[in-house]
Amino acid sequence: MCERCDKPLVSRGKQRRQLQTSGGEHVEIERSYGTCPDCGQGLFPLDKELGLLSGDLTPRAQEGLVRLSVWLPFAKTALVLENLVGVQVSKASARRATLLEQEWNQQSMQLQQVPTAAPAGAPQQFLSADGATVPLVGGVWAEVKTLAIGTVEARKEVGKLYMSTISRTVLV
């Protein structure tokens, strides 16, 4: 399905792609290419399903590359990655992958900072947690945790508040 139009894609044949795994192994996959008849956008559905990014690294190899690049200079990252797991990348690839990941993280953080309205709840709520040690069958003692969640409601009688609660007890 097209990501923009949500229309079925038209198949345009199959293509092969070489990937490098986190162990340095080379894998070749064959996947279908499709285009949207309305907007013309093209994509490889299998690449999306597998979470493949541009380049020849699997998602796990890409993650290892980016994690190392945070701690080491890019040229050193390429050497360490090859020595540790056999993945071969250039200094430029390490830099590009890390900067791209940084850009995605910044966009994600900006999306998370957009305030959303909380659903309306009770005007006044309470939460109470407690724990105790209780005797069990056979002379064994165990810790029990209790959590009560509720709302406070004012009733017609002047000065009286009533509480409605839900309580759960868990044996730890």
* Chain segment 157-170, per-residue pLDDT in tens: 666 666 666 656 56
Q: pTM to 2 decimals?
A: 0.48
pLDDT of residue 60: 82
Q: How confident is the model at residue 123 (pLDDT cuts 50, 70, 90)?
A: confident
**18 bridge partner residues:** 28
For the chain, the structural domain boundaries read: 10-112, 125-171
Give residues with Cβ within 8 angstroms of 80, minimum separation 6: 68, 72
Radius of gyration of the chain measured on its C-alpha atoms: 28
Looking at the predicted structure, is the pLDDT value of residue 22 above 80? no
* Per-residue pLDDT tens over the stretch 59-111: 788 888 888 888 888 888 888 888 888 888 888 888 888 887 777 667 666 76
What does the block give as tokens for 108?
């994600």
- For domain 125-171, give its CATH number from 2.60.40, 2.10.70, 2.40.50, 1.10.260: 2.10.70
